Amino acid sequence: MVDTKVTLSGWELDNPVIPASGTFGYGKEFAELYDINILGTFSFKGTTVEPRFGNPTPRIAECPAGIINSIGLQNPGMEHVISEELPEMKKYFGKKVIANLGGANIDEYARLAEAFGKEEQVGILEINVSCPNVKDGGMAHGTSCENVYNIVKRLKSVTEKPVYMKLTPNVTDIVSVAKACEDGGADGISLINTMTGMRVDLKSKKPVVANKIAGYSGKGVFPVALRMVYQVYEAVKIPIIGMGGVSCAEDVVEMMLAGASAVGVGTANLINPYASKEIVEALPAVMEKYGINSLKDIIGGAHNG
């Protein structure tokens, strides 16, 4: 019998599979298809202080190995999520969740962290400093070592919940940014968020997405995400939630060998709503195939030798 359990900042998960923020909503639609309690946990839809309508349409376009999107953090706002979505979530998900939070400035991040830090249902605060699709802050926060350091320092002063920083791959040196997060007191790192990309319509000869440039995700980014997880693991001592193009149980194992303690599943959920369920169910057989008795034992295994 293989052991799929993993631990994030003292929180033990039944398995490392975590649907990533932005691809799983609040879990309700997926709970109508299968029992989502089989998941390790999930990161719910990115939340801001005030409601956001998001970016103009069209804001999604297919690519040969994934999609580009420019949703723009559309969400009902902090107060609605706390008063409506979290209580509703208890009806279909019996585990703690990850709260993905996005702010335009450090004060907004602090308000969000303080509010969600008081919620018993929330196990980890995942701080989005990496969204390429919002003009007020967004990815700019996560490209500066000084910014991420200051954000973490502030958040750790207002909450006792573990703070994980979700980083952008659109930087020259991901290691320096990750180390700045750790130096600021971050409890963990989530990476990667989407890369930047675009599509052009050959008939209209104009960009397909209204914002022109959008976030690229899907299978095509997996080698890049894996490389960044590998590099960050060598530089920091805090746990990593690795994500980016993960679409099968083998990808989960590969991510963990590179250094991830848990693994986010993003675009695959949009292509196949049963993707995370199928990965969880396939994981034990893949572990047996490769002689893995416990997932905890393989974290960072690719760095040995």
How big is the chain, counted in residues?
A: 305
* Cβ contact 229:235 at 8 Å: no
Q: Name the pairing type of β-strands 200-201 and 206-207.
A: antiparallel
> Given strand 240-243, what is the order of strands in its sheet?
17-19, 262-265, 240-243, 188-191, 163-166, 122-128, 97-101
User: Which of 63, 131, 181, 248 does the annotation list as catalytic?
Assistant: 131
63 included as an active-site residue: no
Extended strands (E) in 65-174: 66-69, 97-101, 122-128, 163-166
Residue 84: partners with Cβ closer than 8 Å, 6 or more residues away:
76
Helix segments in 49-120, DSSP class H:
78-80, 86-89, 106-116
Helix segments in 83-219, DSSP class H:
86-89, 106-116, 145-156, 174-184
* Cβ contact 299:259 at 8 Å: yes
Cα 46 from Cα 101, distance rounded (Å)? 5
Q: Which residues are catalytic?
A: 131
